[in-house]
Amino acid sequence: MQPLMLLRNYLWLAPALLQIGVLGIMVRRKLHRRFPFFSLYNLECVLSVAVLFSMYVSRYASGEIWWRVYLLDTALSTTLRFAVIYEIFAHVFDNYAVLRRLGKPVFRGALLLLLVVALLTAVQTKDRDPYFAMYALHVLQQTASILQAGLLLILFLFSAYIGLSWRNYAFGMALGLGIFASVKLAAAALEGSFVASGNLYINLVVMGSFHFAVLVWLFYLLAPEPGLNRAIGIPDHNLELWNKELQRLSRQ
């Protein structure tokens, strides 16, 4: 087998094995109760690798069936990535009940808008692209990547302001997802500029970035979590003031 194929198979299988460790640590520390969608996302990744790789090496699974399963997996994993984004934001604002309730419809509205834009983009290319379902899911993946990269940027800019330590589990989850999403966005911008052999190297870089993201998650889960820093004085903390004011207005 060629060295590149060996590397591809390693980058395909190794993250799934590491994610089994991620799930084990989360169950042992009961973190799967705090982050159920993140746990479910890791479980889905493990199961998808097991199924898709088994079908890939099997002589009995046709290419058409493999692609159908791959598209289904892509749709499911993209949906779970959206759920993980919401879960991280909900965890960050956990101590601010009113802000958390206000954020739910805002996040759902933004998510719905992005999904509509992605589907409209795919529909507009339906007549020109025979692989409509694949293109639509690709657009949805890119939408998820944009959200995740934005999440990383927001947490970096406001982590100190909202009292979120860089050692917090939620920050580590966002960091890993953000790195993976940023690489995917860069790869999507470069894919059209290369021939098939060049795209193979780009795919390896994307797979390597996910491998690194899983290592980031393992690092954070193995380290003690300091928690959210709520020692900031309430009179000077705008988030606390906003929460109290929204709570007052909601009772009127």
pLDDT exceeds cutoff 60 at 234? no
Render pLDDT for 83-133 as a digit per residue (tens, 0 to 9).
888 888 778 776 655 555 655 666 666 666 666 665 565 555 555 554 666
- Of the listed ranges 87-96, 170-179, 225-234, the one predicted with least confidence: 225-234
What structural domains does the chain harbor? 3-250 (1.20.1070)
Check residue 149 and give its pLDDT: 76
Q: What is the DSSP string of 168-229?
A: SHHHHHHHHHHHHHHHHHHHHHHHTTS-HHHHHHHHHHHHHHHHHHHHHHHHHHHSPP--B-
Closest CA to 216 of 11, 15, 8: 15
Check residue 89 and give its pLDDT: 79
Taking a C-beta distance cutoff of 8 angstroms, is the pair 98, 246 a contact?
yes
- 233 class by beta-carbon count within 10 Å (0-12 exposed, 13-18 middle, 19+ buried): exposed
Return the DSSP state at 230.
-
- 211 falls in which pLDDT band (50, 70, 90)? very high
pLDDT exceeds cutoff 60 at 217? yes
- 242 falls in which pLDDT band (50, 70, 90)? very low
Strand blocks (E) in 66-147: none
Check residue 104 and give its pLDDT: 63
Render pLDDT for 10-64 as a digit per residue (tens, 0 to 9).
999 999 999 999 999 999 999 999 999 999 999 999 999 999 999 888 877 787 7
Render pLDDT for 119-156 as a digit per residue (tens, 0 to 9).
565 555 555 554 666 666 667 677 777 777 776 777 67
Check residue 131 and give its pLDDT: 60
CA distances, 88 to each of 18, 160, 252 (Å): 21, 16, 30
Residue carrying structure tokens 């797979």: 207
Please enumerate in sequence order all residues whose Cβ is within 8 A of that of 224, keeping only pairs 6 or more positions apart, or say none. 167
Residue carrying structure tokens 């046709």: 62
Higher pLDDT, 106 or 230: 106
Determine the Cα–Cα distance for residues 70 and 95; give it in Å rounded to an integer.
39
pLDDT exceeds cutoff 80 at 208? yes
> Mean pLDDT throughout 211-235?
73
Check residue 45 and give its pLDDT: 95
